[in-house]
Amino acid sequence: MSSARHDHAPGSGSGPAVTAPRTTTAPASLPPEGLPGLDPAWSRLVRVPGRGIDAGVTRGWHCLDTAGELEALGVEPAGTILAVHGNPTWSFLWRRLAEGTLAAAAAGGPAWRLVAVDQLEMGFSERSGLHRTVAQRVHDLAGFADAVVGDGPVITIGHDWGGVVSLGWAVDHAPQLAGVALLNTAIHHPAGVPIPAPLRLARARGVLAASTVATPAFLETTLSLPAEPLPADVREAYRAPYRTAARRDGIGGFVADIPADASHESHAELERIAAGVARLEAPALLLWGPRDPIFGDRYLDDLVDRLPHARVHRFEGAGHLVAEERLYADAVLSWVGEDVAPAAGGLETPRPAAEAPRPAEGAAEAPPPADAEAFRPLWHRLDERALDDGTAVIDMTRTDAGEPRTVSWRQLHARVQELAAGLHRLGIRRGDRVSLLLQPGPTLTAVVYACLRIGAIAVVADAGLGVQGLSRAVRGAQPDVIIGEQKGLAAARALGWPGRRFSAGRLPRAAEAALGVEASLGEVARLGCGEPLPPEPAPADEAAVLFTSGSTGPAKGVVYTHAQLSALRDVLEQHLAIHGGTGLVTGFAPFALLGPALGTRSATPDMDVSAPRTLTASAVAAAVRASDARIVFLSPAAVLNVVATADALTDADRAALGRIETFLSTGAPIGLGMLRSIAALMPAATPRTPYGMTECLLVADITLAEVEAAATAPDEGVCVGRAIDGNRILISALDADGRAVGEPSAEPGVLGEVVIAAPHLKRGYDRLWLTDREAARGTEALDAGSPEHPIRWHRTGDVGHLDADGRLWIEGRLPHVLVTADGPLAPVGTEQDVEAVDAVRRAAVVGVGPHGLRQAVAVVESLPAARRPGLADAGLAAAVRASTAQPLAAVLVVPSLPTDVRHNSKIDRVRLSAWAERTLAGRTPGAP
């Protein structure tokens, strides 16, 4: 039998014409032997009764099936993983999952049979010459599953258009469904938004047949998508079923069947599947490559909305072929073992715990549960002082009639209420994400508290991440709304960030139109004036996504609930004895927002908060005078410049600083000398350097006096003090290979990874399920607290030890540990030795050579500064080597050590190590 594959884009009279060759049907066949990673024993040919347009005939399918291997192992599978490839791949895509399932079964783990199909017209399955819509392919898969899989528990997994087809089967067979897993795919496209540009190009008139059928261009483009090129034999394996135009006809058919709009014949089926997915209760897993030019984060966000209970992990840097770029099979098997296996017997186990889904559009928002009555939300103090005309916030970066801009408690409370009601009236609901591109000050403060009040999630990514890092963070968070100043909104428009747009101030109409701005905050506030507010969010609801500095890899979104943010407030309030009259000056953005929560006035000094080194001593003093503050909170990089500019202080400035009672700095270690310098500027203050991180902003604390006492101890590293009340610190020992595998304990003197627990510890990382698992690894047996107040643990990635007095000493980061022939070496202790040399300003110790045989190299900023990077002169090298007991393979100098973009104080040792390798290999060193 012979027939035309298709003559035009199905269901669209104005669709692109296709001049595909007439196709001769071809039976199913086995793939050639010798394909990498594909065991020929898995390949199977089956005949399946057809359905839909195939009713009354049978079709030949090729699939991978591990049933025979499991039988040889003597293992009875718990169920079947039904894997469906997309376009233009085939079942070869799932070879690692086949291997992984068999390895797990052989090791005594959960045993699941893998059946990976080649869809009809694709791979090595039959070429029928018939046009197959999405609905038909769902029928095809149902017939195949009935014939081959049977009626046992089934986990579906799909990629690309195989994700759609697998979800169609899942929706239609929910009672049999044990779980659903997806790699980059899409089941819904918003109306009025063009489909992705590469697909528009592939579907264009005169291009479709040429790029997908007549030539292998579409296939080759897909194979070129990974950032690291696929091995040649893997590329050849993907080409194997598609050597001729006739064999590629299905590729063109898949592209033509993409619904560009509601008139397309497959549109209704996609809508049906999308609606059904939102009703699925089975465990779910979403693994994503965010660099995908087709199925980007927009589609992941849609799936998260429909499957709010899903485990989600974005593999930063991976793209469309995430199955080839990352160890996805390990993730799938971990999920099967943790979430699916308990449900496999009777399919009665409820889905995994997750945050409550967003309310449906127009639905009433539920009030918080009764057990939330004792909870004091972050805006509690603001409500208490709603009628107070005293000063709440002072912005030294902006002036009114030449004076710092001040906002009273009454004004701030009213503005928060108006903005909250206005945003809610504009359709912003509990669970919606709001990206804030605003400078610290009264406006940002009001917007943050307004978002929190209505249950919207504040997304805060530091401008110090740089354009690329900030864009990666915002796009990954997939905000529903962006509120920003004109510069930020322009960046959002240029970089294609998602979300509705609102401007901080009123913009010219032309600018509003160009930037897609719906309204200014002033207009939002007027809209909310006198309007009622929705019920308050519950303590367990998500409140904020705060991004890390990105100093040890791509910035991660850290998710906080309302309860955790309130716990942070309580820790600060109690530990620092903050009260209404304390007053707070902060040049550290995360804490600039906590003044209203603490019920004390706060001031932001005149500085560029994205560049901490712009803060001067005079600016700090001016903010202290304006706020009559008793606490100053600065970042380590800001401290450096404050001390460096102290000579410009006037007598009035020094008098103001002399009234400070507490000075705090956190984010990176501060040396004893710098602490003494800042203490000289604030002689009445107790300098403190709390230890914390974005995941847990306050863990331990230490005063200058305690730092001076610790200076005589034999311990290596930076002493950051003892755990703050309510927090706990343990150490997971490093093994000889530098891995933190020891059971966390409080044993003194053990070098290992720092493991912490605190009431204000983050809920988790945003859409980084595997990272969350790693952060909690090995903590399951630790004290879990009470059912009402469970304790959660977090591996910090910091390396250090506890001393006999329970003090924590930080010795570096886990990725910076050098595994030498003598075992693991943390860098900070040696760096401290080197920094004691008079001619050294700062130092970093990095490794060169192979893992297990790394040798230490000191890279220093010299005094005076080196003019060019390279080997240190003989005198400096000798002094550095004499300063430490650690043997050094070389001493190098640089004009300036590379640091992270947020704190300007965390040294980028990974970058330095690569530079040192190049330099010592005799290559032109250049700048690190």
Q: Is the separation of the CB atoms in 576 and 556 below 8 Å? A: no
If you average pLDDT over residues 67-87, what whole number do you get?
A: 96
Residue 501's nearest CA partner among 486, 460, 509, 244 is 486
If you average pLDDT over residues 58-71, what whole number do you get?
A: 97
Residue 864: asked if its preceding bond is cis (omega within 30°), the reply is yes
**Per-residue pLDDT tens for 496-527?**
889 999 999 999 999 999 999 999 999 999 99
Distances (CA, A) of 270 to 188, 276, 385, 674: 7, 10, 52, 62
How far is 572 from 727, CA to CA, in rounded Å?
13
What pLDDT, on the 0 to 100 scale, is given for residue 24? Answer: 56
How far is 791 from 806, CA to CA, in rounded Å?
20
- With H, G, I as helix, E, B as strand and everything else as coil, classify residue 459: strand
Higher pLDDT among residues 610 and 904, named by residue: 610
What pLDDT, on the 0 to 100 scale, is given for residue 626? Answer: 92
How far is 642 from 624, CA to CA, in rounded Å?
14
If you average pLDDT over residues 768-778, what whole number do you get?
A: 95
Amino acid identity, residue 216?
P
Identify the bridge partners of residue 756 per DSSP, sorted by sequence position.
729, 794
Amino acid identity, residue 774?
E
CA dihedral 418, 421, 422, 427 (to 10 degrees): 170
Q: With 60 as the cut, is the pLDDT of residue 928 above it?
A: yes
Q: With 90 as the cut, is the pLDDT of residue 115 above it?
A: yes
Amino acid identity, residue 540?
A
DSSP state letters, 100-143? HHHHHHHTTS--EEEEEEPPTTSTTS-B------HHHHHHHHHH
How far is 827 from 837, CA to CA, in rounded Å?
16
- Band of pLDDT at residue 398, cut at 50, 70 and 90: confident
How far is 413 from 446, CA to CA, in rounded Å?
8
Q: With 50 as the cut, is the pLDDT of residue 903 above it?
A: no
Residue 372 in tokens: 């939330």
What pLDDT, on the 0 to 100 scale, is given for residue 354? Answer: 47
User: For all residues of the chain together, what is the average pLDDT?
Assistant: 89
Give me Rg for the CA atoms of the chain.
Answer: 30
State whether the Cα torsion 608-613-619-620 is positive or negative.
positive
Higher pLDDT among residues 437 and 25, named by residue: 437
3-state helix vs strand vs coil in the chain, percent to 5? 35, 20, 40
How far is 398 from 393, CA to CA, in rounded Å?
12
- Band of pLDDT at residue 324, cut at 50, 70 and 90: very high
If you average pLDDT over residues 178-187, what whole number do you get?
A: 97
Q: With 70 as the cut, is the pLDDT of residue 363 above it?
A: no
If you average pLDDT over residues 639-664, what whole number do you get?
A: 94
Q: What is the DSSP letter of 772?
A: H
What pLDDT, on the 0 to 100 scale, is given for residue 14? Answer: 36
Distances (CA, A) of 550 to 637, 693, 797: 16, 12, 13
What pLDDT, on the 0 to 100 scale, is given for residue 345? Answer: 42
What pLDDT, on the 0 to 100 scale, is given for residue 44? Answer: 97
Residue 185 in tokens: 């795919």
pTM over cut 0.85: yes
Identify the bridge partners of residue 584 per DSSP, sorted by sequence position.
602, 631
Alpha-helical segments (H) within 465-520: 466-477, 486-494, 509-515
Most confident of 41-45, 595-599, 631-635: 41-45
**Per-residue pLDDT tens for 125-176?**
999 999 999 999 999 999 999 999 999 999 999 999 999 999 999 999 999 9
What pLDDT, on the 0 to 100 scale, is given for residue 787? Answer: 61
Domains and CATH numbers, the chain: 2-343 (3.40.50.1820), 378-386+397-537 (3.40.50.12780), 576-689 (3.40.50.980), 699-815 (2.30.38.10), 817-920 (3.30.300.30)
- With H, G, I as helix, E, B as strand and everything else as coil, classify residue 287: strand
If you average pLDDT over residues 453-460, what whole number do you get?
A: 96
- With H, G, I as helix, E, B as strand and everything else as coil, classify residue 531: coil
HSE-up (13 A, CA, CB side) for residue 434: 30
Helices 328-335, 95-106: axis angle to 10 degrees equals: 50
Query: 292-320 burial by CB neighbour count: b if 16+ within 10 A, else e?
Result: bebbbbbbbbbbbebbbbbbbbbbbbbbb
Give the Cβ contact number of residue 530 at 10 Å: 8
Alpha-helical segments (H) within 173-288: 197-203, 208-209, 217-223, 232-239, 249-256, 267-277
**Per-residue pLDDT tens for 220-272?**
999 999 999 999 999 999 999 999 999 999 999 988 888 877 888 999 999 99
Q: With 70 as the cut, is the pLDDT of residue 21 above it?
A: no
How far is 835 from 669, CA to CA, in rounded Å?
14
- Band of pLDDT at residue 8, cut at 50, 70 and 90: very low
Residue 625 in tokens: 């005078």
How far is 800 from 498, CA to CA, in rounded Å?
41
If you average pLDDT over residues 895-908, what whole number do you get?
A: 68
Q: With 80 as the cut, is the pLDDT of residue 789 above it?
A: no
Share of the chain above pLDDT 70, in %: 89
What pLDDT, on the 0 to 100 scale, is given for residue 202? Answer: 56
If you average pLDDT over residues 806-827, what whole number do you get?
A: 95
End-to-end distance of the chain based on CA atoms, in angstroms? Answer: 66
- Band of pLDDT at residue 192, cut at 50, 70 and 90: low
Identify the bridge partners of residue 818 per DSSP, sorted by sequence position.
825
Amino acid identity, residue 15?
G
